[in-house]
A and B are shown apart, each in its own frame.
Chain A
Amino acid sequence: MSTRSSRWTKYRPVIALSILSMLVCGLAYPLLITGIAQAALPYQADGSQARLGGRAVGSYYIDNGFTLPGFFHGRNETNPLTASASGVDPDITVAEALSQVPRISNATGIARSSLVALVTSHEHWTLWVTGTPYVNVLELNLALIAAYPSSYPGYA
């Protein structure tokens, strides 16, 4: 009996602190952060969802998987050798976007110059100063639908 209680005295800090640290770091902390984030920043906390005609159509940060000829396409569908690290990269370079302009123009009848202007006005730079200029594919296509609703019947 006495050895059992002395053993418990010896191991109690280790066992009790293991459980307690799990409850604090593994449950209390992430749940508290979740609560604050959901209350104060619900849009970001739920994945920065894009909306079209009132319904959620995806996240601005995740490739939306466009395949129709009338839309700009992401880089993740075509060929695994050109794939991004995440496989859901939502962006393409401006050069890649411009190379798709003729196809989109042919499919929708929108003038090439207008499409080029749209791409340019949605250009992002890494930290505004460096890297290869790029566009967010979902943002660009939603702008396309908004600017030319008659070319995209049934979407807006």
Chain B
Amino acid sequence: MIDAIQSLIVVAILASTLISGSLLAPYVVRVLTGTPTRLDRLLDPFESAVYRLIGADPKMTMGWREYLFAVIFLNVAQMAIAFAILVGQGVLPLNPQGFPGLSWDLAFNTVVSFGTNTNLQHYAGETALSYFSQMTAIQFLQFTSAATGVCVMVAMVRGLRPGSAHLGNFYVDFVRVLTRILLPLCAVAALVLVALGVPQTIGGYVTVKTVEGATQELLVGPVASLVSIMQIGTNGGGYFGANSAYPFQNPTPVTDVLEIYLMLLLPTTLIFTFGELIGKKKETRPILIGSYGLLAIDLAVAFLGSIPAVGPGIETRFGGFFSTLWTVITTASTTGSLNASLAGINPLGILSAYMGMLVQATPGGIGVGVMYMLMYVVITVFVVGLMTGRTPEYLGAKITARDVKLVMVAFLVHPIAILVPTLAAFATKAVDAIPGFSSLPTSVAFTQVLYEFTSSAANNGSDFLGAAANTPFFNFATAVVMFVGRFVPIAILLALAGSMIGRKRVAEQSLRTDGAAFSFVLIGSILLLVVLTFLPFLILGPLLAYFQGLVNFVG
């Protein structure tokens, strides 16, 4: 259990993300709707030059298929560039440590991982990646995958909006999200992080003689610029293998709180944009209550158990409380960065982490969190319609049998992408290739492999295994799961949005979706859906470990 001061800290962090989100939302709406802002005089000429250079007509509009293909083509092309950089880093510049190129399967896993906003890492950055790779492969994809998340969300919302005729223009959305939201925010955050002690240099590792005269290498690099987009873009892939447990990524408790805040900032802001973008301000309410209500439940579950003391896997400056808090928020926002070793977190904290990754909307990843919550809204509208014997309607449109089939498929992608490869990893004995794996207790071993694929499918990226999973099986299996877990639900939800265009809308819905009552039914149905789907697996993993009395997951 946590004490009063710690509870106050949690409340203060959530209150500040909610307040910042509501304040930032009107600006983000202006960016996404092309409404004039004061930045126009500065950025309009630059953006026009970009459209001319890439040969895209900014006035052209797209249907859902065009939008989706542009998204997938652009993301795959960006992954291809990053792949070439990672494989060829040995001959590329800015490599003062002289690291060789990555193996093909590891490079493939890495670019899919960062291109899908997952950031699962089967390598340790400080011993594998050059400065050039950290910047032009890793930071690059962290920006573009985050921007893509915002784009697909706004495209889906445009389709759902009554009276809309198209999903917008992907290239315009992508460029504006980068130039007007992500780059300025990250620049400010990066400089604040430097001021608070995070290094930012391309001068090479510093060799010193310690006080006692031993030789030590200080692993400095362009860290702050990466940490800012990694947190703001809900990416989570760290500069260092130990992620934000490594002091250069997260040197003090102050940077820790700032980094927690940054993970929640844009997902929360995007929730507040929903009502404005859809043209019905009150429709923000179920999304907001649903996501933050479930996040509160996650936090309660995690803090129900005993908080780990400073010990194995826990950094002294953060202690068990901030390590557990980070673990809950990083999975609830599907960011996936860590400030402790997951092995040091208690089983109820891990259970809560699973809940965040299985729901994916508390508030979820940047942009896609809102999309998943809309998916749950449609399912809930349908279920409530069945129970009350009324025609299910959302935003004035009738929810048809096809709509329900689409959202059910989008929902089922997730359990299939998690459970099938988890079983395959054990059935084919691929797990035996992980060093030291056979000596783990069964509940711990199962938890770690289930977590690997849950994290991949949810595009989260936190993991127990890390570089130990750098085997051909895990590199390819998790890459496929990450790709499917990212783009199949996006495709289905854009198809759903596209089919709403031109659909007849009624002025007065028989069931209101903007009230508190619906929000609570929404929370209940999400819990029911997720728990029913995954309970047997959670019992075999973290719940069994909890009842075995394991204090944490150190095998």
Contact = CB atoms under 8 A, between A and B. Distances in A.
B225 interface: yes
Nearest to B77: A18
A114 B222 CA distance: 41
A57 B222 contact: no
Contacts of A55: 208-209
A149 interface: no
Interface stretch (A102-110, A115-123, A131-139): A131-139
B120 to A, nearest CB: 18
B374 interface: no
Contacts of A82: 311-312
B183 A9 contact: no
B178 interface: yes
Give the interface residue-count category, chain A: 35 or more
B319 A58 contact: no
* From A47, A145, A155, residue with most partner B Cβ within 10 Å: A47
B314 interface: yes
A84 B139 contact: no
A14 B201 contact: no
Nearest to B46: A24
B313 interface: yes
B195 interface: yes
B171 A65 contact: no
Contacts of A1: none
B140 interface: yes
Interface string B59-94: 000000000001001100110111000000000000
Interface residues of B, number: 87
A86 B81 CA distance: 31
Interface in A33-58: 33-34, 36-38, 40-41, 44-49, 52, 55-58
A18 B242 contact: no
Interface stretch (B99-107, B249-257, B383-391, B525-533): B249-257
A44 B195 contact: yes
Contact of A57 (B171, B208, B229): B208
Nearest to A38: B201
A86 B242 contact: yes
Contacts of B117: none
B144 A25 contact: yes
Contact of B216 (A18, A41, A62): A62
Interface string A130-152: 11101000100110010000000
B191 to A, nearest CB: 6
Nearest to A68: B212
A47 B206 contact: yes
* From B187, B195, B199, B242, residue with most partner A Cβ within 10 Å: B199
29 contacts: A12-B54, A13-B70, A16-B53, A17-B54, A18-B78, A19-B81, A22-B78, A29-B183, A30-B225, A33-B187, A33-B191, A34-B225, A37-B201, A37-B224, A44-B198, A45-B224, A47-B199, A47-B206, A58-B211, A61-B248, A61-B251, A64-B211, A65-B210, A81-B554, A84-B316, A85-B339, A130-B321, A138-B211, A145-B211
Interface of B: 3, 5-6, 9, 50, 53-56, 70, 73-74, 77-78, 80-82, 135-137, 139-140, 143-144, 171, 174-175, 178, 183, 186-187, 190-191, 194-203, 206, 208-212, 214, 216, 218, 220, 222, 224-226, 229, 240, 242, 245-248, 251, 253-254, 257, 309-319, 321-322, 338-341, 344, 554
